[in-house]
Amino acid sequence: MGGTARRAKGKANKVVGSAKKAVGKATKNRRLRAKGSAQKAKGTIQDVAGKVQRKVRGASKSLFSAVVVSSYIL
């Protein structure tokens, strides 16, 4: 899964988790509230992982370009 797809999935999990948490709070359902909190945390982790993946990919492309250019110079 690419960085953008992972971030989108993370954002979706954050939204659904927030909704579950709110419904759990409104209905005084501790279990639903806990599931919502867990899903929101999962979404946050996915979002951050997607950001990191995009940064690493960008850095590796830059590094590869630098290596290719320097090999032509040498």
Per-residue pLDDT tens digits for 43-64: 999 999 999 988 888 777 666 6
User: pLDDT-derived band of residue 66, with 50, 70 and 90 as boundaries?
Assistant: low
Per-residue pLDDT tens digits for 13-46: 999 999 999 999 999 999 999 999 999 999 999 9
If one counts the domains in the chain, the total is 1
Spatial separation of the C-alpha atoms in residues 47 and 71, rounded to whole Å: 36
- The token pair that represents 13 in the structure block: 């999990």
**Segments forming the whole domain that contains residue 39:** 3-73
- The pLDDT value recorded for residue 2 is 77
pTM higher than 0.85: no
- The pLDDT value recorded for residue 42 is 97
